Structure 1
Amino acid sequence: MIAEGVKAPAFSLPDASGRMISLSDCIGQKVLVIFYPGDDTPVCTAQLCDYRNNVLEFTRRGIAVLGISGDSVESHRLFAEKHELPFTLLSDSDKRVAKAFDALGFLGMSQRAYVLVDETGVVLLAYSDFLPVTYQPMKDLLARIDAAS
């Protein structure tokens, strides 16, 4: 994983509508970048729906959420619509952003990883789940975020 305390790598990726979103668009607020293996897979769906159900916890902390996987823009659009996800999903089809954040797994898929970036673009928190078949439950994720902020 990327080291804490360093400047987060700049990136621009298409969202579920094809609009380009850059990390620099979020300067001035905290951003939680969530790398995940794939849309509509059992664990990723449970993870992102858990975060959807508790999205106000991110809002209360002034945190924007960006989900990133290697899936296509169209896959993200269908996934976000199907599960009514209230946060932005970004398509990293060439996996360059996952590589830049050192969040690529050994099989070439995104790890299930979390990077909290502060208002100035510095990484406050960076870690990945040890097993790809589990995810960080909301209460544990928030505890880590609160400890890092």
Structure 2
Amino acid sequence: MAVQLGDKIPHFTAKDSNGQDFDSASIVGKKTVVIYFYPKDNTPGCTAQACSFRDQYEDFKDIGAEVIGISSDSVSSHEKFAKRYKLPFLLLSDDSSKLRRLFGVKTNLFGLLPGRVTYVADKDGIIRLIFDSMNATSHIPKALTLLRKFV
């Protein structure tokens, strides 16, 4: 079952782009968080989305929010993607799609393409926005607009 507005971000663990173990409890419930699922590293839309988050990362940090990107790409793919585009935020590998299933992220384009969904949670870990759109760059302003209301 998909997480809904008002639900708490579910607990999860995954490997980050450095091969380190990430535990959501280290952030969720302690600060506002933006978790975005995207289809694939190094594709035009996903690169545009990641670079838009990068370009506005200081805006997120200034309001106390952490950004986390998740796709099914491997740790080594994430490492290269993060280095190539100088991404300052966490990228998590969901190679078994367990996180997609945990959050209920659907596939798009007749089930061929993993979905692009952004979740924004407040300091208590409660989901305040679920934005599901394949328009890659529209996620950043939506998340920032909501987060600025928390400040």
TM-score, normalising length from structure 1? 0.89
Q: Structure 1 12/109 Cα, relative in aligned 2: closer, same or farther at 3 Å?
A: farther
Q: Which runs of 5+ in 1 are unaligned?
A: none
Equivalent residue for 1:114, pick from 107, 112, 118: 118
Q: 1:139 maps to what in 2?
A: 141
Equivalences, count: 147
State percent identity of aligned pairs: 31
Partner of 1:128: 132
Distance 1:52 1:4, change over 3 A: same
* Corresponding residue for residue 66 of structure 2: 64
Residue 92 of structure 1 deviates from its aligned partner by 0.5
Mean Cα displacement is larger for which, 32-41 or 133-142? 133-142
Asked if residue 14 in structure 1 is aligned to residue 18 in structure 2, the reply is no
CA drift at 1:8: 1.4
Give ranges in structure 2 of 5+ residues lacking alignment.
Answer: none
Deviations 1:13-50 (A, max 9, x none): 00011111111110311110010001000000011101
RMSD over equivalenced CA pairs, Å: 1.9
Paired residues of 1:2 and 1:126 also in contact (CA < 8 A): no
Give distance in 2, aligned partners of 1:85 and 1:51.
Answer: 8
Deviation at 1:108, TM superposition (A): 6.1
